[in-house]
Structure 1
Amino acid sequence: MVPTPNKRPSLVGLVIALNDSLSEAGVGHGFGGALALAYYTSQPRTTSDIDINIAASVEMVAEVFKVLPHAISWDTASIAQCKRDGQIRLWCGQPQKGIPVDLFFAQHEFHDAVAAAVSTHPFGTEEYLIPIISAAHLTVFKALFNRPKDWVDISEMLRAGSVDVLEVDLWLERLLGIDHHALQRFRQLAGKGATRDPNIRIQPKVDPIIPWQTLRKGPGLS
């Protein structure tokens, strides 16, 4: 296990350390969560954690863990858990007191689309760039998580005009099915209703990357 320092690290410093470590090792990645949200809304919110989509399969978990900054702790149990679940929360600093780092590994073709659409944005200075997942794919993830704050974030991104509505619509229908409440709620927020070309056929639902079939139903939706 990597030792955990007592001092809480800097969030900005950790983002840079993670980006440098993964980039130098040739590990494709894109920051998501509230960090990505900051680039797609006019009123970004603060965050205390870091979400990273890793463009590698779960078979590569151990190799990826080994290139993470030394302040992030993990052990063989962490490797087994991540291989099983495809995602994990690690800690930089003391568990529950440091900075949570959530890693999401590629398990599905949607993740391939996420990796292909990553773009770089300035972080800290104009010269330093970090890879960020697209607004559309961030919206899909948030619709799948289906928490109240996720829908607030989706509304803010739509208001800012940063979301490719058709891209989100296509993926939600493919992943969840046309009648799923999350897709219907997104369409209501986007103000698009069922306006997609009916001649475009979406492939049937495929194996989920998270258990979104158990997502909570939104208010007023079935």
Structure 2
Amino acid sequence: MDTHEQSLAAFLAGELDDQAAAEFDAHLLTCADCWQAVREDRAGRRATAQLRDTAPHDLADRVRMTVELAARTRPPQRRVRSLTAGALAVAAAVVALVALALPERGADPPAITTVVEAAQRIPAPTGRPVSPDAGPVAHGQGWTVQAGAAELRLQYYRLDGVELLVAHADRPVGTPPDAQHAPPGDMPWTVDREGITVYCPHEDLLVAAALPTGRLATLAQRLPAN
């Protein structure tokens, strides 16, 4: 394992100090392979967390009964052919039972879905290039949209060469069931959806972009408050 791979492994394991983690966050902006590895690691952790939930106490009995019923109803004159069909039926039944045992991720609040869709359509800014020291610059026309019970005011920004979407809500936007809280508590939290990271520093504010969480959180602190 080379130094690059060691740094990636340490980042995924949370073993880097604050400075090293910030440096690796910056590296993720230019390394598609590492960014993909980070996204896959996060997805795997969420899937593992879901699998840890306790299965129904009678799941083993239900699977055993399904197997026994398949064996009893198999026609004896076509034992070889029906063995394959019976095995497929049992496999399908087991998969269905296990699927019922696993928890499903609840539906996202409408505000999250709206923001993710808008962030996937961020247009390229027009006009003269903006200096990296210029601070956040709004581009495009801001607009208002209804997302469930919340009214969202959306605006695209460019900051440090990065395109961001900022959404102000007229009420709390709600928290997805799989939100990652850092530090632990209600705020702030992040979720990853279809290549977009959504960062919620306040209950009525969402910032979204195709960026790693740490980088997005850092940029969000420099955006306008209103």
TM-score (norm 1): 0.23
Considering only CA atoms, is the larger Rg found in Structure 1 or Structure 2?
2
TM-score (norm 2): 0.23
Q: Which has the higher contact order (CA 8 A, sep 6+)?
A: 1
